[in-house]
A and B are shown apart, each in its own frame.
Chain A
Amino acid sequence: MTDLVSVLAASHGESPFSTALVSKIYPDGTVDLTLSGGSALGVSVLASYAPRTGETVLVARRSPTDLVVLGALRTENATTIDVESAVTLAWNVTPSIPALANPFTVDPVATASHNGYGWVSDRLYQGAYYVGQNYRKGCLFYGSGFDSVRGTGLRITRARLELSRPSEGGSSAGRPFYLAGHAHATQPGSAPIFTTGTTKVGSWAWGETETVDIPVHLAQGLVDGTIRGLGTLYLGTADYAIWRSVSEHATSGRLTLDWA
């Protein structure tokens, strides 16, 4: 009998291993082999291997003429391992857009003007009548009017504002509205805080009621909650004017909004 230690100890030269096919088995346990370069007869076999005809085996060469079969050749370990792969799918889920007319309207719940010291009227005053008078800032408060669409991803595509001038206050000729956004859904106790720049929109003469287009981004700001109301922000006298309150004109400050 032959053991692996003695085979490896006796081998010399380069790469003592090769493969062969078992072609015949003898009663004494030796085998005939078919090799790539010919055949070998009566080759001994490691004690741990029971040869089978036709099996591919690994052969060690102890000398140029002395071979020994180590065992069946296996190209793959029969042992398996568990493998696993997982991925996380991530997405945002946003509230659905409620059933909503297109366009839809939002009316202010209140209007009021502040002169820097206090709230002086429920009308919308713009600027000062004369130099030295305190500048007044008129505000439109929309209360909870935008709560149902906030956070829905609603995209405003067109925005229009209705205002009405009484037949008094400033010039009787047409005057623009210096529109800006502020931070208040309802009338605050102190002076209003405007949070956007000013845009001149429309022109209202005494007694006129007009609906005019306003910048979409202001209406989008109301939907998104980045601003909470609109108003007039004008620190001058030339375009001093007054607009009616919601108590005088129910649709004063009405916003008509197209959306997608």
Chain B
Amino acid sequence: MALEWRHVSGAALGDPVRSGALHAVLGEGKIGGPTEEVTLALYNPSATKTVSAVKVWTSFGDGGGALAIALGTDGVRSPGGTEPIGGTPGSYSTPTTKATGLSVASLGPGQVVGIWVRRTLTGATALSPELNRLHAAGTEPI
């Protein structure tokens, strides 16, 4: 796999995000409940290949929970050290196409970039479960 979504454990990479697993990233929410933010890592697991022209965007299912994403202010980096992956969130937005997605110039072998996910449930409707998707795409050498 050329790009992986990972949980973040401080400055270290966590386990891969299990797609579709209930409450794997954000827990149960109540309509009008508090806004929540969580950091994920977009990771290039290749030992040799750089993924270029990386874009990150979202798509939404039913339910009406508002999702926004932001790049971590620490930028592209290698896991480890003492600073948590993602640092603090940059400017949040809600791109829904690859063309308008957040841009990451390139992810070198073993590098990560922190992606902040912000959930707001104002105006949401009760739904079990509400589904939303995070997308990442880029190009890499054959």
Binding site for B on A (CB under 8 A): 76-97, 151-153
Known: A90-B129, A92-B130. 5 other contacts (CB 8 A): A77-B141, A81-B142, A87-B134, A93-B28, A94-B31
Would you give the shortest CB distance from A152 to chain B, in whole angstroms?
Answer: 8
CB < 8 Å neighbour of B19 from A81, A87, A91 = A87
Instruction: Evaluate contact between B125 and A93: CB separation under 8 angstroms.
Output: yes
A-B contact pairs, 15 of them (CB 8 A): A77-B141, A77-B142, A80-B52, A82-B137, A86-B134, A86-B135, A87-B17, A88-B19, A91-B27, A91-B28, A92-B23, A92-B129, A93-B65, A93-B125, A97-B30
Partner among B29, B119, B136 whose Cβ is within 8 Å of the Cβ of A85: B136
Bound Cα distance from A87 to B98, whole angstroms: 15
Provided the pairs A93-B121, A96-B30 are in contact, do residues A85 and B2 lie with their beta carbons within 8 angstroms? yes
Question: Are B126 and A93 in contact, CB atoms less than 8 angstroms apart?
Answer: yes
- Which of B27, B124, B132 is close to A88, meaning CB atoms less than 8 Å apart? B132
| Residues of chain B within 8 A of A81, CB atoms compared | 139-142
Question: From residue A73, how far is it (CB to closest CB) to chain B in Å?
Answer: 16
Please report B residues at the A interface, Cβ cutoff 8 Å.
Answer: 1-5, 17, 19-33, 42, 51-52, 63, 65, 67, 117, 119, 121, 124-142
- For B142, what are the chain A residues with a Cβ–Cβ distance below 8 Å? 77, 79-81
Instruction: Report whether over half of chain A's contact residues are helix, strand or loop; otherwise say mixed.
Output: strand
Contact at B29–A83, with CB atoms within 8 Å?
A: no
| The one of B32, B128, B133 that contacts A86, using a Cβ cutoff of 8 Å | B133
Q: Tell whether, in the assembled complex, residue A90 and residue B139 are in contact, meaning their CB atoms are under 8 Å apart.
A: no
Bound-complex Cα distance A99 to B127 (A): 21
Smallest CB gap from A79: residue in B? B142
* Chain B residues with CB below 8 A from A153, complex form: 28, 30
Indicate if the CB atoms of A94 and B20 lie closer than 8 Å.
no
Write the nearest CB–CB distance from A169 to chain B, whole angstroms: 46
Q: Is the CB of B126 within 8 A of A90?
A: no
Expressed in whole angstroms, the minimum distance between the Cβ of B132 and any Cβ of chain A is 5
> Which single residue of chain B is at the shortest CB-CB distance from A82?
B139
With the chains together, A76 CA to B137 CA distance in Å? 21
Contact of A84 among B19, B23, B32, B137 (CB under 8 A): B137
Separation of A95 and B31 alpha carbons in the complex (Å) = 5
Q: State A78–B119 Cα separation when bound (angstroms).
A: 40
Q: Which residues of A are found within 8 Å of B126, using beta-carbon distances?
A: 93-95, 151
Provide the residues of chain B in CB contact with A95, threshold 8 Å: 30-31, 126
Q: Closest Cβ of chain A: how far from B32's Cβ, in Å? A: 5
- On whether A91 and B2 interact (CB within 8 A), knowing A82-B139, A83-B137, the answer reads no
B38 → chain A closest CB, angstroms: 9
Q: Find out whether the CB atom of A91 lies under 8 angstroms from the CB atom of B5.
A: no
Contacts of B23 in A (CB 8 A): 90-92
Complex Cα distance, B138 from A83, in Å, reads 5
Q: Give the CA-CA distance A93 to B32 in the complex, in Å.
A: 10
- Contact call B137/A88, Cβ cutoff below 8 A: no
What residue in chain B is nearest A80 (Cβ atoms)?
B139
Considering the chains assembled together, what is the distance between the CA atoms of A76 and B142 in angstroms?
A: 8
A152→B32 CA distance, assembly (Å)? 12
Instruction: Provide the bound-state CA to CA distance between A152 and B28, in Å.
Output: 12
